Amino acid sequence: MSGGIRNVTVIDSRFHGEGGIHIKSCPGRGGFIDVTFRNITVAGGMAVTMSYTGEEVGGAMPYLANVGFEDISGSGGCNFEDCSQAVGCSCWNMSFRGIELDGCQPPTMAPSGYFV
């Protein structure tokens, strides 16, 4: 596995561009562990994508654990890809609290680690 993100906190921020908050990875790339986004205003929405390339590639599966989104507001909607779409991917202990983005219904996490 290459790359990976660990122990990152983003607080009291404004994201004005189209990108918003995007967590993206794919097989063979790194994962995200202990990442928090809190009190953020976005114009480009938010997304979690675990098969970013849209195709299966070799390598270790990405792992998401302890990723939190708290008090996120703005526009741009949201897209939360089910971790099961990237076969073998693991998502654990993700939280979504106080999400107020236009057209966004944040998922909840099933005990299996998949979005529901």
Model pLDDT for residues 70-108, shown as the tens digit of each residue: 999 999 998 877 665 545 667 778 888 999 999 888 776
Q: What is the CA radius of gyration of the chain?
A: 13
- pLDDT score of 35: 93
Handedness of CA 46, 93, 33, 85 (dihedral sign): negative
- pLDDT score of 53: 62
37 versus 60: the higher-pLDDT residue is 37
- pLDDT score of 48: 84
84 versus 63: the higher-pLDDT residue is 63
Amino acid 26 reads: C
Overall average pLDDT of the 15-19 stretch:
87
What is the widest separation between alpha-carbon atoms in the chain?
38
